[in-house]
Structure 1
Amino acid sequence: MNRKPRILRVTTVALSLKTLLKGQMKFMGENGFEVLMTSAPDDDIDSLEEYENTRHISIPMTREITPLQDLRALREMVSLIRSYKPDIIHTHTPKAGLIGMLASKISGVPVRLHTVAGMPLMEKKGILKKVLVAVEKITYKTATRVYPNSNTLAKYIIDNKFTNSNKISVIGNGSSNGIDTEHFSPSTEINTEARILKSKHELDGNLVLGFVGRIVGDKGINELVAAFEAIHRENPRTKLLLVGPFEPELDPLKTETENLIKNHPSIITTGFQKDIRPYLELMDIFVFPSYREGFPNVVMQAGCFNLPCIVSDINGCNEIIEDGINGIIVPPKNTEQLKKAIFKLINDPDLRDQMTSKIRESIVSRYDQKVVWEKILDEYHENLKSINLTYKTGSKNQFTAT
């Protein structure tokens, strides 16, 4: 073969390439592959291409159900694939998976990989759920391999008969991209920023409960705020720090929750923060009572800052956190159990210290980004071998068709 093997990486929106898969395309390019990215158009594609050292081509995909727009995107995807001739197409997110897998099947791409990182359909009902289930089944049927990013999600897919179990595997210990554990690590610089924020928000002398993510109902914010109100009545030296944007147009909070957030003197909101590390440094306990997730990076990030975590018993969270070892797992949508877990860690500093001493190492050993990337690279090699594209030498950077 006179060229490097080609990978087409597809996500619905460019933000997924910039954040959820950050650095992965560059790594593959440095390890013997030619990589092309595609997603819906974005205002900041130039910086994405520069960071990843990888070209991007826009295709007008949407996250909503838009049949006419989806057909247009499918035609453009087929055209791109026939022009680029990738050996591997690897899709992420539901709409990109549907369009990318269908287009690559139509176009004869030999290796068709789809990563499943959470399922919105888990929280849906009625006709909408049936439509979303059908989309998943079509995507998996046209893929050659399907990679749920957690063991819990793999079990859900198999139990619900979305595809044959022999198509399913979890790469490594889960996670789509791992995390940069060196970046998410306490430092003198971050500590200095945190001290400034601590003064600004009047946190001295308080135990700080923290959350990072979208401030919406789906993330368990209604339950978290209700639990905190009860906790604060008994423990007035506590604060709740909510780091993230409100999205009332997509998933509004209950009116009573909104009022408490606005009016409670010990609930602090910061809005979206580009760098969450100083805020993690401020926290004593990280609370993440989400209803559904893929494999939540923020829990791993909090763990890298030595924070004991209270999480919902949902996909991803219940694999990152080992109940009673590096955190506590509670049922989703259960204010009472959430409150009990928070009280337990507030009232037992020895338990908090025990969890603090174990959580960072448990994250680094299983989910460090370089470990995850190497596992994905190995998976690409195995898939290429399955179509008789093998290495010329022992180097991962040299390939030839045999």
Structure 2
Amino acid sequence: MALKKICLVTTSPLIVNFFLVPYLRRLREIGEVHLALDTSGNVPLKETSGAITYSIPIRRQIAPWHDLLTLIQLTRHFARNRFDIVHSFGPKAGLLTALAGWLARIPLRLHTFTGQVWITRKGVMRWILRAADKIIATLNTHILADSPSQRDILVEEDIVRAEKCKVLASGSVSGVDTSRFRPDPVARGELRAALGIPLNAMTFLYLGRLTRDKGILDLARAFDSARLESGYLVFVGPDEDGLQHGIEHLCGPGRAKLRFAGYTPAPERYLAAADVLCLPSYREGFGSTIIEAAAAGIPAVGSRIYGITDAIIDGRTGLLHAPGAIEEIAACLHRLANDDALRSALGNAARQRALSEFTQDRVMSAVLAFYRGLLDV
């Protein structure tokens, strides 16, 4: 029997490096894997695992003329290769793949929702972005959500029918590699030394893209408000909105306790060096960094929004706060900085939950079983 042809589509090597390498590895068991993405940026692909890779100029930003040309290119690519299934990740890749897959008559069209851009927008832009998600859900034959609460929102907002949308295992895109994300005292000491942070200093970590939607300005204000004598705050990730100067300004004299590391291919080292992960986001599909931190034995402070509420059990594996509530965030930081026993208990419980529910093997086994059912292999 001929190998099934599978094409994964996304916008950036960042998404592949953080989430999709397990797909490239495991899907080879059932078919010929292709990968289409925009490789024009500065971030290299970490691994392709033998996948046949194509560069398609898929921009994350709205660019109508460019998007039309990309749609034509993607449709031709699909038609020429006659894929059995196409699977998209991310809003722009999702919209273009849904349209191109439908036009090219690809029999199985799958999209994974990982958060809704429109949830924080208002007016015409909210309507446009919401309509794009509706098109994605309508034109694809199957839909996945990376958390139960995100699935609930998609159904409640009439984006997708309940019977069409599934969550695999307990959620997340590809689970967490527990051999990589784990407590590591050696890395903890090395990285703290490199950052100029004392070994016993309380260290909070933000890990991800530096954008306003992630609530990092709220985090800066809360860190300043908490006035932690020995506290440090580390930001790791690309500064997409140019926020570093604003963060430093908000922290005033406390800016000496800030560290900015930029993009890293080794987030596990920063997690090993941290005491608490912070994700004060306004929108999140799941919060994969929370589970990665959990696997490393690190509790999290996060917004009480859909997606994050699946990743943090409030009072058991971390602490939740209302989105945008500066003083509430500050209180969470202060509480964890001054209660070693609580911080340790939350971290231990978070690690046990990550090991039982969110391992990469468990999640990817569910993904592979789902694919086998779709492709009848």
Q: Secondary structure at the match of 2:33?
A: strand
In structure 2, the CA distance between the partners of 1:188 and 1:35, relative to structure 1 (3 Å rule), is same
- The 5-angstrom pairing of residues 59-138 of structure 1 reads 59-138=56-135
Q: Deviations over 1:220-277 (max 9, x none)?
A: 2222222222222xx412222233333345xx4794x431447523233333333233
Q: 2:270 matched to 1:279?
A: yes
1:216 alignment partner, one of 189, 208, 211: 211
- The 5-angstrom pairing of residues 189-208 of structure 1 reads 189-194=186-191, 196-197=193-194, 200-208=195-203
Partner Cα distance (1:244, 1:317) in 2: 19
Q: Secondary structure at the match of 2:361?
A: helix
Residue 148 of structure 1 corresponds to: 145
2:36 alignment partner, one of 38, 60, 68: 38
Q: Secondary structure at the match of 2:341?
A: helix
Alpha-carbon shift at residue 32 of structure 1 (Å): 2.1
Partner Cα distance (2:262, 2:74) in 1: 36
Residue 158 of structure 1 corresponds to: 155
Q: Is the 8 A contact 1:175 1:367 kept in 2?
A: yes
In structure 2, the CA distance between the partners of 1:336 and 1:195, relative to structure 1 (3 Å rule), is closer
Residue 237 of structure 1 corresponds to: 230
Alpha-carbon shift at residue 205 of structure 1 (Å): 4.0
Q: Is the 8 A contact 1:151 1:174 kept in 2?
A: yes
Q: 2:249 matched to 1:259?
A: yes
Residue 375 of structure 1 corresponds to: 366
Q: Is the 8 A contact 1:45 1:56 kept in 2?
A: no
Q: Secondary structure at the match of 2:187?
A: helix
| 94-103 or 267-276, which deviates more | 267-276
Partner Cα distance (1:129, 1:52) in 2: 38
Q: Deviations over 1:142-191 (max 9, x none)?
A: 11111111111111111111122211111111111112111111235424
Partner Cα distance (1:41, 1:279) in 2: 26
Q: Is the 8 A contact 1:23 1:52 kept in 2?
A: no
Partner Cα distance (1:204, 1:16) in 2: 32
Pairwise CA RMSD: 2.3
Q: Is the 8 A contact 2:321 2:329 kept in 1?
A: yes
Q: Secondary structure at the match of 1:51?
A: coil
Q: Secondary structure at the match of 1:52?
A: coil
Partner Cα distance (2:94, 2:197) in 1: 46
Segments of 5+ residues of structure 1 without an aligned counterpart are 385-389, 392-402
Partner Cα distance (1:215, 1:71) in 2: 29
Q: Secondary structure at the match of 2:48?
A: helix
Q: 2:346 matched to 1:349?
A: no
Q: Deviations over 1:48-97 (max 9, x none)?
A: 5x632111122222212222222222222221112211111111111211
| 185-194 or 280-289, which deviates more | 185-194
- In our comparison, the structure showing a higher alpha carbon Rg is 1
Partner Cα distance (1:211, 1:47) in 2: 23
Q: Deviations over 1:279-313 (max 9, x none)?
A: 22222222221111222222112112211211111
Q: 2:358 matched to 1:358?
A: no
Q: Is the 8 A contact 2:88 2:94 kept in 1?
A: yes
How many residue pairs get aligned? The number is: 376
Partner Cα distance (1:293, 1:33) in 2: 31
Q: Is the 8 A contact 2:204 2:276 kept in 1?
A: yes
Partner Cα distance (1:14, 1:272) in 2: 12
In structure 2, the CA distance between the partners of 1:204 and 1:163, relative to structure 1 (3 Å rule), is closer
Alpha-carbon shift at residue 338 of structure 1 (Å): 1.0
Q: Is the 8 A contact 2:189 2:273 kept in 1?
A: no
Q: Is the 8 A contact 2:26 2:368 kept in 1?
A: no
Q: Secondary structure at the match of 2:168?
A: coil
Q: Is the 8 A contact 1:320 1:363 kept in 2?
A: no
Q: Is the 8 A contact 1:222 1:254 kept in 2?
A: no
Alpha-carbon shift at residue 43 of structure 1 (Å): 6.0
Specify the code of the residue in structure 1 equivalent to 2:341.
D
